[in-house]
Amino acid sequence: MIEPGGSWHQVYQDLQRHGVSMAGGRQFGVGVGGLTLGGGISFFSSMYGWTCDNVLEYEVVLADGSIVMANPTSHKDLYWALRGGCSNFGIVTKFKFMVFEQRELWTCIMNFDSSHSRALHSAYANWGQDLAPTDCKTSSILLWDAHQNSPPTCMVGILNTEPLVLGTHPKVFDQMYEAGPASIMEANMFHGDIAESQIVPGGITRTCFWTTSWMIHPDMYQEVFEIWKHEIKAVAPFMAQQQLQLQTLTLSQLQHMKRNGGNPIGLADEQRTLSLMCLLARWEKPEDDDAVYSTLQLIEDRVNNASKRRGVYHHFKYANYASQFQDPFEGYGEANRQRLLAISKEYDPEEVFQNLANTGHKLTKPFGRYIPTGGHFRSHL
């Protein structure tokens, strides 16, 4: 059993001594509890599913102080709800996870400049649509990074769940290697060491994530990049960092969501690969909040309009990337949302976790979108 207060790096360090690992977080400081309750994408998601779908049992303290064990046979409605329903039902004090044998993994970081964006986005779309489904051992993330007024650069992280001879790579990534000149760093590493290498710099007081998704389309990545690059000019002078993260949700990932009665996220029956966008903004001063939030909302609106124009818009918003102004449960589908509300009412009739626990996304208090409050924001449209 794992307690929720630790980080995934701590978990992996303990597990690797026994030659095993699990489908948990990908960064050093990410906490066990929050990631798991919001879904949880891992390096192993195509092989084993999301983190929430690898939970065998939850120990939960309910609003009345009682303790229950939620699993596929006991309190199975609560078990279903906790697999993506966030902190709306009780305080999870222990998780029981599935583990699997795991030694070293092969990991590679490729760095590109923006002049290769079209070739890179084409290669990434082709990998996600046609090649990723053929090799569940591989995963990838594409990350554009901009600091203040500097031009954006791209880091592509690719991974194979088995070690490789250095200087070689999985064939499914051939097009990414051909996308343009890139600096390349590769290594065979243990899972915990990879998580440790993904440390987010500290020292910045204000951080916000923002997300949306669409059904994969060969032209969307480049258009999303152009929208992001254009709109961040409005806030670039006072931003410490801005990122555009692009990921692929393969059908093999989503099909694991049917395990043990399913989860409320609502993606188990998808027939098309999804693309997931995450915006990250980091800045210093509270007086810049309105400009930053307005810019992120505008980027989401423009991306959603682009995907609707192409007929590939998707309502899913990943809870762990959603801002405080977004409602991830709307994307779970109305039937699942109503079921979550009913389960919340059953286990927390006084709405303690809706009204007194102010962290995380709440079922009864969605924001939906950011409404500007004034300030110096202006669009570059």
What CATH number corresponds to the domain at position 97? 3.30.465.10
Per-residue 3-state assignment (H helix, E strand, C coil) for 70-96: ECCCCCHHHHHHHCCCCCCCCEEEEEE
- Of the candidates 302, 179, 182, the one whose C-alpha atom is nearest the C-alpha of residue 234 is 302
Q: Which residues span the domain enclosing 281?
A: 105-189+201-314
User: Comparing C-alpha atoms, which of 268, 246, 210, 292 is closest to residue 120?
Assistant: 246
Examine the domain organization and report whether 153 and 116 are in the same domain.
yes
Looking at residue 375, its pLDDT comes to 46
Crossing angle of helices 289-309 and 220-231, in 10° steps, is: 160
Q: 144: closest CA among 111, 122, 176? A: 111
Distances (CA, A) of 374 to 147, 201, 313, 377, 378: 25, 30, 30, 8, 10
Q: Is residue 32 domain-shared with residue 68, that is, in the same domain?
A: yes
133 and 210 belong to one structural domain: yes
| Residue the block writes with tokens 């009665």 | 261
For residue 149, what is the domain's CATH number?
A: 3.40.462.20
Of 49, 73, 101, the domain-final residue: 101
Inside any domain, residue 263: yes
Measured between alpha carbons, how far is 315 from 312 in angstroms, rounded to an integer? 10
- Tokens standing for residue 311: 């007929």
Coil vs helix vs strand at 274: strand
Tell me, yes or no, whether 35 and 48 share the same domain: yes
Give the up-direction half-sphere exposure of residue 66: CA atoms within 13 A in the CB hemisphere.
7
In eight-state DSSP terms, residue 201 is P
Alpha carbons 251 and 131: distance in angstroms, whole number: 12
**pLDDT value at residue 376:** 42
Residue 369: inside a domain, yes or no? no
pLDDT tens for each residue of the chain, 381 residues long: 888 888 888 898 899 899 999 999 988 788 999 999 999 999 999 999 999 999 999 999 999 999 999 999 999 999 999 999 999 999 999 999 999 999 899 999 999 999 999 999 999 999 999 888 889 999 999 999 998 778 899 999 999 999 999 999 999 999 999 998 889 999 999 887 875 655 555 567 899 999 999 999 999 999 999 999 999 999 999 999 999 999 999 999 999 999 999 999 999 999 999 999 999 999 999 999 999 999 999 999 999 999 999 999 999 999 999 999 999 999 999 999 999 999 999 999 999 999 888 778 999 876 667 877 654 444 333
Is residue 259 within 8 A of residue 45, CB to CB? The reply is no
Q: Provide the number of structural domains found in the chain.
A: 2
29 assigned to some structural domain: yes
Tell whether 234 and 265 lie within a shared domain. Answer: yes
Per-residue CA distances from 66 to 62, 71, 348 (Å): 5, 16, 11
244 within 8 A of 224, measured Cβ to Cβ: yes
Q: What is the pTM of this model?
A: 0.92
- Tell me: do 257 and 151 sit in the same domain: yes
